[in-house]
Structure 1
Amino acid sequence: MNIYKATIHDLAHVARLFNAYREFYHQKTDLIGATTYITERLNQNDSVIFVAVHEGEHVGFVQLYPTFSSIAMQKAFILNDLFVAETARKNGIGDLLLHKVKEYALAEDVLRLSLSTAIHNKAAQRLYEKHGYERDTDFYHYQLTLED
């Protein structure tokens, strides 16, 4: 298993995985849109994507978005996307991706990693908790969706 920071050379593979990730969350398939989105992230360097490659096949990815903690005056990352192809699940790939993210965050002197996952996604919750992530009980999280 090889896990490394994605580059534009990984675009087609990451876009395919990203499209499948979005489908998992009940979005319509849109490989063109996924490719455009990942191209922008890689070209603008506004996210960090790690890919998992096994025997030449891209089987998973994780995407981090940099942010900051005003209170602590330090960098933080939002672990926004983690996905392992259905055919590659239960092989420890999610564990390896999370290990790589933690290793990278420590090297970048990041204060914390934050994430959200769907309430029904019990497998992801178990994975995150196994890696020391704790469910927030101190704050409510809100969002405002802005529509046209």
Structure 2
Amino acid sequence: MSSFIRIAEPEDITNLTELMYEYIVGFYQNPAPPINNIHHLIQTLFDRQQGIQFVVEENGRLVGFATLYFTFSTMKADKIVVMNDFFLTEPYRDTELESQLFLACKNYCINQGYTNMTWITSINNTRAQSFFNTMKAIQGKDWVHFSIN
């Protein structure tokens, strides 16, 4: 098998769109955003100014992706990355590819001079929490996450 992690490119838009719908609708059971919105998001990330997407490719097929958004932290007075998405299709979870995708994100942040990479996951996603623990991630205890729709 030929597997590797790379930065998403414009020719990935169709396959990446399908994978993102599998993540949004299939995995997290959220309503499907309009395809134009998904395409606009992917296109925005191609210029690598506001964020970047990494994809996991195996035998010419995309089987995972991670989305990093660039921002700042007042507390750190420096630039940080928010890993907004981290997803692999079921057969690739708990595999070396999962670790490689995470390390690609981590190394990108280090190499680009970001102070910190942060993310959240569902409280019910214990499998992901276990994975992040094995990757030596530190679970936050000092902050309560809120959102508004």
Give the structure-1-normalised TM-score: 0.88
What secondary structure does 1:137 align onto? coil
Query: Take 2:41 and 2:113, find their aligned partners in 1: how far apart are those partners?
Result: 27
Query: Take 1:17 and 1:11, find their aligned partners in 2: how far apart are those partners?
Result: 10
* Alignment partner, residue 113 of structure 1: 117
**Does residue 31 of structure 2 align to residue 28 of structure 1?**
yes
Identical aligned pairs, as a percentage? Answer: 25
Any idea what the Cα deviations from partners look like across 1:88-131, whole Å, max 9, x if unmatched? 33332221110101110000111111101001101110111111
Give the structure-2-normalised TM-score: 0.87
> Any unmatched runs of 5+ in structure 2?
none
* Alignment partner, residue 55 of structure 1: 59
Query: What is the total number of aligned residue pairs between the two structures?
Result: 145
What secondary structure does 2:132 align onto? helix
Of 73, 77, 82, 2:77 maps to 73
**Which residue type is aligned with residue 98 of structure 1?**
F
Query: Take 1:110 and 1:130, find their aligned partners in 2: how far apart are those partners?
Result: 22
Of 130, 133, 136, 2:134 maps to 130
Query: Take 2:92 and 2:105, find their aligned partners in 1: how far apart are those partners?
Result: 19
> Any unmatched runs of 5+ in structure 1?
none
- Provide the aligned C-alpha RMSD in A: 1.8
Of 44, 63, 67, 1:40 maps to 44
CA contact (8 A) 2:84 2:120 kept: yes
CA contact (8 A) 2:78 2:114 kept: yes
CA contact (8 A) 2:83 2:119 kept: yes
* Alignment partner, residue 14 of structure 2: 12
Over 4 Å off, 4+ runs: none
* Alignment partner, residue 94 of structure 2: 90
